[in-house]
Amino acid sequence: MTDPLSLAPILSPDDRPTPLFADPDLTHEQRYDAFVEHVHGGQKVEARDWMPDEYRTSVLRFVEMHANSELMGVLPEREWIMRAPTLKRKLALTAKVQDECGHAQLLYRVAEDLGKTREQMYQDLLDGKTKFHNVFHYPTKSWGDVGIIAWLVDAAAIVAQQALRDSSYGPYARTMKKICWEESVHIMHGRDVVVTMMNGSQAQRDMAQEALDRWWGPLMQMHGPRTDPAKDRDLFWRIKEKTGEQLRQEFLSTYVPRLWEVGLYPPDKELKLDEASGEWRYTEPDWQELRTVVTGHGPKSQERLDFRRLHHDQTAWVRQTILATPAPA
């Protein structure tokens, strides 16, 4: 029995002893090996730790693309903030898009602490040097899109984000915990929008199905083609924990039954659960479309970047004003 007055739990050795790779007296190879062992042992890396260049570059690229996606993901839904049809929807949609802005800020903060300025990240995004997720390169056409995006695009994203709570990069993992906590409500909002439409008129049901038809392709492409896990450096560094195919399967397992139960049908005749393997079968997504879209040639890629550039330029004077204010003593 533990002595109730024992302070042992408090005084037990810190769960993060000084990592071996921090020792500057080791050779580079020894530090590198110790670092690999550290992350493979499920341990975290912090912003100021020594880290191999490849790790730093990989984390930065990964987090920066995630931040870019949150930032650009604001735009398709933002168009509907002014068109929300009830007071409650107006509040929910404004709050959801606000969260995307907030998440972009949280993620850019993580990236900034890796040494790249926010302005530089904006410039690289606007210049097409860095990417953002495929789903944010497409137009939104109806209120049905608002529901489908908030429900399914966010669901597909949250499946990936939940796995990132275990990322080896500590600041990213902690940020993902906060983001996942905040995002869970988006899915509720989206599903509520869609289910309300499915309980409404035929025109509303058609609108929801039509939106699903358009979004299904991009949704299936979202987690990327099957890859060889052995060659995936982000997996090697434990920046992420799951392959694209694992995430897609998780997404399908949870959400296809929920679509079917309300009378919505993804436009894929091959889509079914293979009982024997427990895996979902589906028509091979159009990977050429994915490559075309994420390299900036999607239906709305340039228009969205132009829009972002326009507003960034128009408000530059505000940033100059506020950042020129001397910091208080």
Partner 1 sequence: MTTETRRPTRQLIQPDLPEFDSSGLDPQLRAAIADLLLTMADDEFVIGFRDSEWTGIAPMLEEDVAFSSLAQDEIGHARLLYELRAALTGEDPDRLAFHRQPNEYRHARLLDQPRQSWGFTITRRWLYDTADSVRLAGLARSSFAPLADVVGKIRREERYHLMHLDAWLERLGTHHGKPRGKLLSALKQLSPVATSVFAPLPGEEMLVAAGVLSAPMADLAARWRSEANARLCALNLRPIADGVPAADGRDHATPHESFVWLWNEFTSVAQLEEGVEW
Partner 2 sequence: MTTDKTPSEGHVDDAGRLGAGADPDVWEVFRQEKDGEPMRHAGNVRAPDRELATHYAREFYSRRNESVRLWVVPRTEISDLADPDLLQPPLDRSFKRPGGYVMRDKLDAAKKRAAESAE
Q: Which is nearer to partner 1, 99 or 250 (CB)?
A: 99
**CB-based contact 211:275 (threshold 8 Å):** no
Q: Which of 41, 85, 115, 263 binds partner 2 (CB under 8 A)?
A: 115
**Segment interacting with partner 1 (CB under 8 A) among 39-47, 161-169, 181-189, 308-316:** 308-316
CB 118 within 8 A of CB 60: no
Query: In whole angstroms, how close is the CB of 183 to partner 2 at the nearest point?
Result: 12
Three-class SS state of 273: strand
Does 323 engage in binding with partner 2 (CB under 8 A)?
A: yes
Residue 327 found at the interface with partner 1 (CB under 8 A): no
Give the single-character DSSP code of 133.
-
Helix axis angle for 244-261 and 202-221, nearest 10°, is: 170
Q: What is d(CA 180, CA 158) in angstroms, rounded to the nearest whole number? A: 7
Cα separation of 206 and 211, whole Å? 8
The phi, psi pair for 84, rounded to 5°, reads: -55, 135
Q: Does 203 bind partner 1 (CB under 8 A)?
A: yes
Q: How far is CA 100 from CA 42, 94, 106, 131, 222, in A?
A: 29, 10, 10, 17, 18
For residues 123 and 246, which CB has a smaller minimum distance to partner 1 in the complex?
123
Q: Name the residue nearer to partner 2 (CB basis): 3 or 275.
A: 3
The window from 149-157, 244-252, 260-268, 316-324 that contacts partner 1 (CB under 8 A) reads: 316-324
Least distance to partner 1 from the beta carbon of 311, Å?
A: 4
Which of 202, 277, 320, 325 forms a contact with partner 2 (CB under 8 A)? 325
Sites for partner 2 among residues 35-74 (CB under 8 A): 35, 46-54, 56-57
Q: 204: which residues sit within 8 A by CB, 6+ positions away?
A: 197, 198
Cβ-based nearer residue to partner 1, 173 or 197 = 197
Tell me how crowded residue 129 is: count the other CB atoms within 10 A of its CB.
Answer: 10
Residue with Cβ nearer partner 2 (31 or 304): 31
Nearer to partner 2, 84 or 101 (CB): 101
Torsional sign, CA 81, 108, 129, 170: negative
| 31 belongs to the binding site for partner 2 (CB under 8 A) | yes
> 62 or 80: whose CB is closer to partner 1?
80
How far is Cα 304 from Cα 72, in angstroms, rounded to an integer? 8
Instruction: Report the residue number, 96 or 223, with the smaller CB distance to partner 1.
Output: 96
Cβ-proximal residues to 38 (8 Å cutoff; 6+ apart), any chain: 19, 20, 21, 45
Q: What three-state secondary structure class fits 135?
A: helix
Cα–Cα distance, 48 to 19 (Å, whole number): 13
Binds 291, which of partner 1, partner 2, none (CB < 5 to 8 A, cut-off by type)? none
Q: Choose which of 15, 17, 230, 269 interacts with partner 2 (CB under 8 A).
A: 17
Residue at 310: amino acid letter: L
Are the CB atoms for 83 and 89 separated by under 8 Å? no
Q: How far apart are CA 316 and CA 31, in angstroms?
A: 43
In this chain, which stretch among 46-54, 129-137, 191-199, 269-277 interacts with partner 1, using CB under 8 A?
191-199
Contact residues for partner 1 (CB under 8 A)? 71, 74-75, 78, 80-91, 94-95, 97-98, 100-102, 104-105, 108, 143, 193, 196-197, 199-201, 203-204, 311, 314-319, 321-322, 324-325
Contact residues for partner 2 (CB under 8 A)? 3, 5-8, 11, 13-14, 17-18, 28, 31-32, 35, 46-54, 56-57, 98, 102, 105-106, 109, 112-116, 118, 171, 174-175, 178, 182, 322-323, 325, 327-328
